[in-house]
Structure 1
Amino acid sequence: MDLAFVFLEKLHSSWVPVRSGESGNIVFQRADAQAFAKIAPAAHHTELAEERDRLIWLQGRGVACPEVISWREEQEGACLVMTAIPGVPAADLSGAHLLKAWPSMVAQLNAVHSLSLEECPFERRLSGMFARAVDVVSRNAVNPDFLPDEDKHTPQPDLLARIERELTVRLEQESTELTVCHGDPCMPNFMVSAETLQCTGLIDLGRLGKADRYADLALMIANADGSWTCPDEAERAFDILFTSLGIDAPDRERLAFYLRLDPLTWG
């Protein structure tokens, strides 16, 4: 039986398919556009449950994000139904509109980074992410589409070895700047009002947890890069981001390290 049918027939409303995620999840939008259903096959049940747990924990903590409406499990998989965040993904904005929205997007990310470390039960520290990368590489499961062009033909063990050579230094840095991170602050995960160009919230929070804030900053900057139409826009966005954080001299090598690590942790 079709996996989506297993769950959607029990939700007693009309649903429209939106997309299929890299993880194999299928996403549907309710006909009134007020809710989404994310359906995961049994093999990815754990990841979807992790997203559910993080959304529940985030409620009432000052972060604009979806609220969990319902959760269903069957032998075939699981279904998470959550409220919709209004707006369009930042990935759909022109470079000029993205730059206008950027300060409010930074503010939303800062709301996550300002959460209490002591109260956060979720981990995404570098040691754990490196262990994940070791597992992905051991299965030869790195998705080449996630790699920069210059790394697409490099053997995966060599990519991992490059990360390992920097690991000790980066672990020491993480210990001084640990924060609660989104985990995947790419442009599709920032929602923005098309009318006001203000960020309305964050989605896809399944990787939220304690980590080096540079892990988030690297992904946000790099993923926005394709939206800018000129170098000045990219530099202005870079300055806005780091000025808001009180970082006068951003560590570009540290940013590059997390960009090299991230593609190895999916798979």
Structure 2
Amino acid sequence: MSIPSASTAVPERVRVLARGASLTPVWENGLGGLTFRTDDARYIKWGPHDLEANMRDEAERMRWARQWAAVPEVLEQGQDAAHEWLVTSAIPGRSAVDPRWIAEPAAAVRAVGEGLRMLHDALPVEECPWEWSVASRFANAERRGIRLPDVLREAPGIDRLVVCHGDACMPNTLLDEAGHPIAHVDLAALGTGDRWADIAVASMSTEWNVGPGFDDLLIEAYGVEPDHERLVYYRDLWNAG
């Protein structure tokens, strides 16, 4: 994932969805999907169909999670034969990997850890209709033609069952100007699972985004001691597929 240049070509569908608003490209994923910010406080996410997680599912999960946690409001969602799109309201704040926060990596990492704990504490497991369990992730990979290593079928016992974000990497936490976590985005994989499935990915993502040496700080900010067995397992599962 990366921040696209200002000269990035705007897909025709995005222009239609913008309804005359000015567009600023803010994110590009590995599949060629793009996210644009409009000058009337919306975000437009557009990209090719993704077998792993689609925007229809993301919209449904955002509407559900919004009952208890700060996530953007879904304004529109749709798809055609080749692409899908999602339009949401903007939440005042910056991604934890915005240049403003990359300049203060320790503050950003702490905020992501604190924000993840807030999300886990807010969302009710009993009312969540989706899973992000090990079994569901194996099934998802098989649908995409990916064979995960058999050794990963033996997962550690669940420490605490929560509603996981499903992609708790640093960019998906928004911070206010004081550096406090205020919202989460990119919830297409949200579902119940062991909290370490999220903690492992969030802490691992600190190295991708701000460099080595920050993973334990994120775990400390979340409020637990490092569980090395679960960290290794869930990082291996993430990297495998």
SS at match of 1:184: coil
Structure 2 distance, partners of 1:121, 1:85, is 26
Q: Kindly indicate whether the alpha-carbon contact (under 8 Å) linking 2:78 and 2:84 is maintained by their aligned counterparts in 1.
A: yes
The answer to whether structure 1 residue 53 and structure 2 residue 34 are counterparts is no
Query: For each residue in 1:15-50, what CA deviation from the matched residue of structure 2 results, as whole angstroms up to 9, or x when unmatched?
Result: 233333223422121124x11111133566961111
**2:153 aligned residue:** 167
Distance across 2 between alignment mates of 1:17 and 1:104? 25
Percent identical pairs in the alignment equals 27
Offset of 1:4 from its aligned partner? 2.6
Name the counterpart of 1:74.
80
CA contact (8 A) 2:61 2:187 kept: yes
Q: Give the match for residue 231 of structure 2.
A: 255
Which of these two proteins has the greater Rg computed from alpha carbons? 1
Tell me the secondary structure at the aligned position of residue 38 of structure 1: strand
CA–CA separation in structure 1 for the residues paired with 2:126 and 2:87? 29
CA distance in structure 2 between the partners assigned to 1:229 and 1:221 by the alignment = 11
Q: RMSD of the TM alignment (CA)?
A: 2.9
Identify the residue that residue 152 of structure 1 maps to in structure 2: none
2:200 maps to which of 194, 218, 240: 218
Q: TM-score scaled to structure 2, two decimals?
A: 0.81
TM-score between both structures, scaled by the size of structure 1: 0.74
Distance across 2 between alignment mates of 1:240 and 1:10 = 39
Q: Is the 8 A contact 1:117 1:210 kept in 2?
A: yes
The equivalent of 1:128 in structure 2 is 136
Conservation of the 8 A alpha-carbon contact between 1:124 and 1:211 = yes
When residues 43 and 202 of structure 1 are mapped into structure 2, their CA distance, relative to the original with a 3 A threshold, is: closer
Bigger helix share:
1
Q: Write out per-residue CA displacement over residues 211-236 of structure 1, whole angstroms, 9 at most, x where no aligned residue.
A: 111110001111113556774x5544
**Where do 5+ consecutive residues of structure 2 fail to align?**
1-8
User: For residue 25 of structure 1, what is the aligned residue in structure 2?
Assistant: 33
For residues 46 and 108 of structure 1, do their structure 2 counterparts lie closer, same or farther at Cα, with a shift above 3 Å needed? Answer: closer
1:198 counterpart letter in structure 2? H
What is the rounded CA distance, in whole Å, between the counterparts of 1:29 and 1:197 in structure 2?
21
Aligned to 1:111, the other structure's residue is in SS state: helix
Listed as ranges, the gaps of 5+ residues in structure 1 are 140-156
2:13 equivalent to 1:6? yes
- Asked if structure 2 preserves the Cα contact closer than 8 Å seen for 1:36 and 1:83, the reply is yes
Correspondences of 1:1-267 after superposition (within 5 Å)? 4-14=11-21, 15-32=23-40, 34-42=41-49, 47-61=54-68, 63-92=69-98, 93-94=101-102, 97-114=104-121, 115-136=123-144, 138=145, 160-161=148-149, 164-170=150-156, 173-174=157-158, 177-193=160-176, 195-226=177-208, 231=213, 234-241=215-222, 244=223, 247-248=224-225, 250-265=226-241
Identify which of structures 1 and 2 has the higher relative contact order when contacts are C-alpha pairs closer than 8 Å and 6+ apart: 1
CA deviations on 1:159-186 (whole Å, 9 max, x unpaired) are x43xx3253342xx13x52210001111
The 8 Å contact of residues 53 and 189 in structure 2, kept in 1 or not, is answered as: no
Q: Sort the Cα spacing of 1:166 and 1:37 in 2 relative to 1 into closer, same or farther, 3 A.
A: closer
- Report if aligned partners of 2:77, 2:86 keep a CA contact under 8 Å in 1: yes
In the alignment, the residues of structure 2 paired with residue 90 and residue 110 of structure 1 have an alpha-carbon distance, to the nearest angstrom, of 15
